[in-house]
Amino acid sequence: MSKTVTLAEIAKWVGGVVRGDASTRISGVAGVAEAGPDQLTWLAHDKYASQLRTSKAGAVLVPEQFGETPMPAVLCQNPAVAMVTILARFSPPVPRPAVGTHPTAVVASSAQIGSNVAIGPHVIIGENARVGDGCVLHASVFIGEGSVLGRDCELWPGVVVRERCTLGERVVVHPNAVIGADGFGYQFIDGRHVKIPQIGTVQIEDDVEIGANSCIDRAKCGATVIGRGTKIDNLVQVAHNVQIGPDCMIVAQTGIAGSARLGRLVVVGGQVGIRDHVTLHDGVQAAACSAISKDVPAGTTVMGMPAVEHEVFIRERAKIRRLPKMAEQLADLIKRVERLESSADHP
């Protein structure tokens, strides 16, 4: 794209309308506080309009019915959706290895490599592994024996896919994530912890994205499964035999214990802990830092430690906030009762 574009061009990208000078030229995108005169910012609601008063942004992207703004505006139906298109247009090129195999890569003779595959420096691809068409393997990626990557996957530097794991199409795995490490299983025998062999696999379905330094453990038997379209943030632990349904969102530092099950469209906030063998049914939402120790019905929002339904949590917290005052009242009542009893005993 050109170095700068006009607001009129940006409006065409998102099906919007310009209010103000349509010839204003924009070279990038930034937040309200950081944006400069040649940058576009955005707001999603009138209640944030006051933030624009001190903004130096050259233009702003706002909903169609948004009030007056101190700078030219692009009015569109949904700014959040429109920003996806705009950010993609302004995104700088991402460095990727060239199509072909880097001289330092080690590719087993029995491995099957599709067309237009880019294999970067120091990549290792094991025996009988298969890499689909259009895949990009950045530096130091490891693909274990017998593992399979579908079409158009992208594995960033340091990703490990151990033996016999399967990735679907268009799977993105960010740096240093590990897929297929042994599940955490031990049996206490004769005074010591004896490792239980983890002979299962991992199955990652199409359009999954896995964040940096996340770990998806292989199953003890069978497969650990990440459903189609699910997005996993950084530093997430998914234990052996976990089953995650399609289109879930798992936020950073969440830990999901062995054999837990998540249905479709489950949303799990940051630092949530999910106990082993627990089921979160379709559409469950878990607030950040929740500790989930039992099954959660479909469509329920839970929070707290231990996690309870949202409405119950709110009522409990309201009562807890009243405890200091109630403690003062109780102390006062105790004193009054003591005075009354003293008076009764000593007329």
Active-site positions read 240
Residue 74's nearest CA partner among 4, 164, 9, 154 is 9
Return d(Cα 203, Cα 275) in angstroms, integer: 21
Say which residues have a Cβ less than 8 Å from residue 338's Cβ, sequence separation at least 6: none
What the block records as the tokens of 18 is 């310009």
With helix as H, strand as E and coil as C, how does 96-144 read? CCCCEECCCCEECCCCEECCCCEECCCCEECCCCEECCCCEECCCCEEC
CA atoms within 13 A on the CB side of 334: 6
Return d(Cα 256, Cα 287) in angstroms, integer: 14
Instruction: Give alpha helix (H) positions in 150-273.
Output: none
Quote the Cα angle for 173-175-180, to 5°. 60
Say which residues have a Cβ less than 8 Å from residue 74's Cβ, sequence separation at least 6: 7, 10, 11, 14, 16, 17, 18, 19, 40, 59, 60, 61, 62, 82
Q: What is the DSSP string of 31-53?
A: -TTT--TTEEEE-SSGGGGGGGG
